[in-house]
Structure 1
């Protein structure tokens, strides 16, 4: 399996930026274990970078360096930051996508939710750094994924199968054009059409259980 694509820099996972490099040195100083690095980075992004909806952020971010600079982002932006931090350590990190309701029910429609896949101990694990507010309980786990959202049978919620090396381009375009939280609510994409870079059906069944 060629994992180089999950280590590359791009416009949104801009890990060579000074702010990302500095935070990486701070977080991972004297840490040698990739597992420990992944846990530290995940918990930092989950707990120390508030989700934009939770704080009604006035600044909309997309690329990792801006998420870190302004200390906020939606799930996609936070996933970019987590990927950037771990790619500085040559830890392959990708994106996974989930179709969920925008509100507690389907009254406001649906959106594409983003979380990360990290390759450590010769396997992919799934983590969701969205932020544990309002009863969410996403955790770092080397076994079963412990994500922020369960797929609910009464709604059309599901995972897009596979792992993507790059952010969801339509959502990135939306974020770059958004000026307010309301802009995101009104225009956030609700579908992924791109093919994943890695397909792994069995692991995604575990996410749904």
Structure 2
């Protein structure tokens, strides 16, 4: 993993990672103590209780952690933002990672996942996007658990960068989207610089 920020940046709030919001603080207070127990419970909550808007055919586009929590839905990027906000609120370092995956239509789509520090200088990548038939993810402190495996032979890639905040091109696309359909039809970047 290549970290694009300083160590303390992976604990900070931001425009999207608004963990000071009362709703996020209230949810955090209900999660168990202990870093791994908390991280696992937060993962399970985001994966299971926040719908993936494409899977749920929900047209709403969310991008700020508090908005994702309040509306109960989001794409992989938004679910990752909520998970990072919950982790950082508990003092667990976390950041944003991305994969470039074939979209099934001859192009590529960017998929967002989370990098979490699960031990002293030991990080794993996790994917809280949500399960569906044929697709399952879980929390692991031992290894990366991602919904998709990038296939370089197909032009897919696991980007090695761990961003302290979501890249501006991702946030801009989410903020400016009219709805999920228009966003997915070409509003999202298909790769990172």
CA distance in 2, matches of 1:108, 1:50: 27
CA contact (8 A) 1:9 1:15 kept: yes
Note the alpha carbon deviations across 1:172-202, whole angstroms, 9 max, x for none.
1111111222111121111112xxxxxxxxx
How does 1:168-179 map onto structure 2 within 5 Å? Answer: 168-179=167-178
Match of 1:86 in 2: 87
Match of 2:51 in 1: 50
2:111 matches 1:110:
no
CA distance in 2, matches of 1:73, 1:179: 14
Higher relative contact order (CA 8 A, sep 6+): 2
How does 1:119-198 map onto structure 2 within 5 Å? Answer: 119-122=117-120, 123-186=122-185, 187-193=187-193
SS in 2 for 1:139: coil
CA contact (8 A) 1:50 1:71 kept: yes
TM-score by length of 1: 0.85
CA distance in 1, matches of 2:189, 2:57: 19
Name stretches of at least 5 consecutive residues in structure 2 with no aligned partner. none
Match of 2:7 in 1: 3
SS in 2 for 1:55: coil
TM-score by length of 2: 0.92
CA contact (8 A) 2:59 2:181 kept: no
Distance verdict in 2 for CA 1:149–1:74, change over 3 Å: same
Superposition deviation, residue 101 in structure 1: 2.1
Name stretches of at least 5 consecutive residues in structure 1 with no aligned partner. 194-209
CA contact (8 A) 1:51 1:73 kept: yes
